[in-house]
Structure 1
Amino acid sequence: MPKYRKTLNDLKAPYIKDLMKQIETQSKDTLILWAVQYSKIVMLPIWLKYRPEDERPQNALDSALKWKDKIIKLPEAKKAILSCHQAARESEEIPMAQGVARAMAHSASTIHSARHCIGLALYGALAVAYETLGTDAKWEALEECAAQECGRMLEYLKEISIEKEENPAKIFWKD
């Protein structure tokens, strides 16, 4: 199997910086909602195309929302998230499935640290590009497609953002 990139990794890319700037203005609860809802709308259907019998990513997303709504405790939610990461490891032969599973695991992990929500873009946007263009596409085309997906992610975040959020998440980005 040819080697492929698993993630976008340029945190200084304009499409990532724009997302990070908007993320920094929002509360952890808003970021959880954004990442989980976007994952359910865009990432989960790709996962189900390749792994229709595997409910671990769906369970991770649902658990994150249940934790946010104080229905379950953190250890239960973390167990579902770790299971989603395992699903990603088990899907290495299908880059699109692995990428969206990692994106969904990071989206759900936003309950642990708001910084995890950027994983939606770093893994998910590239997975969408692979799904759209194929794994043999040139990197420049894949990156452009991923950048467009990041733009859609940003628009969705702006739609649900709280203007002048009084309690934005404190996020320290690692380079």
Structure 2
Amino acid sequence: MAKLRKMLGDPTGPRAKALMALIDTQSASTLGRWAAAYAEERYLPILSRRRSGQPVDDRFATAIKQAIACADGNATLKDAKPALRAALAAARETGDADPVAQAAARAISTACGVIQTPTNALGFAFYGAAAAAYDQAGLSADSAEYERLADMEFDRIIASLRHAAVDDEPHPVKVRWNC
């Protein structure tokens, strides 16, 4: 059995570089809306399945709604920040007893933070890749299988952002990548 990591993916690999290049072409609002919606669609269901019939912490759904409202101009960042902090706290409280739930919770809270910190658009992908790989393969697969599934999730993430991307975005984010 491979040692389970909190994040999966190669930060210097071609998928991460492709995602970074695409992020650089989009505005903070486009990235924030896309990331929160992707997390809601992809990682909230994973977290829900891992809760064994118990409801998912409302702080995740609230943060998603606030991030999208902020991206759409229906709320200010000041309005959204308490919900973003609450989702981060909820992710920390998930603990590490269930690596799938932990990765999904971190992916959601990090995705919601994209509206405030555009580089989170890359960070949530690494957490999300772990959540998707562990959810699909279970907790006792080998590292090669996890990496294969993480690559597939990165491909889904890149395709999703390409679909959400605004052509010739007039106000792209200015990111200094440190990886």
In structure 2, C-alpha distance between the alignment counterparts of 1:75 and 1:163, rounded to whole Å: 28
Contact kept in structure 1, 2:9 and 2:129, CA below 8 Å? no
Contact kept in structure 2, 1:48 and 1:54, CA below 8 Å? no
Does 1:93 find its partner at 2:94? Answer: no
Aligned equivalent of 2:111: 107
**Identity among equivalent pairs (%):** 36
Aligned equivalent of 1:66: 69
Deviation (angstroms), 1:138 = 1.1
In structure 2, C-alpha distance between the alignment counterparts of 1:110 and 1:53, rounded to whole Å: 21
TM-score by length of 2: 0.89
Contact kept in structure 2, 1:39 and 1:107, CA below 8 Å? yes
Unpaired runs of 5+ in structure 1? none
Aligned equivalent of 1:77: 80
What amino acid is aligned across from residue 10 of structure 1 in structure 2?
Answer: D
- Any idea what SS the aligned residue of 1:60 has? helix
In structure 2, C-alpha distance between the alignment counterparts of 1:17 and 1:53, rounded to whole Å: 33
Q: Deviations over 1:85-138 (max 9, x none)?
A: 222222221111111111111111111121111122110111100000012111
TM-score by length of 1: 0.91
Aligned equivalent of 1:24: 24
In structure 2, C-alpha distance between the alignment counterparts of 1:26 and 1:60, rounded to whole Å: 21
Instruction: Report which structure shows greater RCO (CA 8 Å, sep ≥6).
Output: 2
Q: Which has the higher mean CA deviation after the structures are superposed, 69-78 or 140-149?
A: 69-78
Aligned equivalent of 1:44: 44
Matched residue count? 174
Aligned equivalent of 1:143: 147
In structure 1, C-alpha distance between the alignment counterparts of 2:59 and 2:166, rounded to whole Å: 30
Q: Deviations over 1:35-68 (max 9, x none)?
A: 1111111011111112324111111111111222
Alignment of 1:117-156 (within 5 A): 117-156=121-160
- Any idea what SS the aligned residue of 1:72 has? coil
Deviation (angstroms), 1:3 = 5.3
Unpaired runs of 5+ in structure 2? none
In structure 1, C-alpha distance between the alignment counterparts of 2:78 and 2:141, rounded to whole Å: 40
In structure 2, C-alpha distance between the alignment counterparts of 1:76 and 1:47, rounded to whole Å: 25
Judging changes above 3 Å, is the alpha-carbon distance between structure 1 residues 72 and 165 closer, same or farther for their aligned structure 2 residues? Answer: closer
Does 1:172 find its partner at 2:176? Answer: yes
In structure 1, C-alpha distance between the alignment counterparts of 2:56 and 2:151, rounded to whole Å: 30
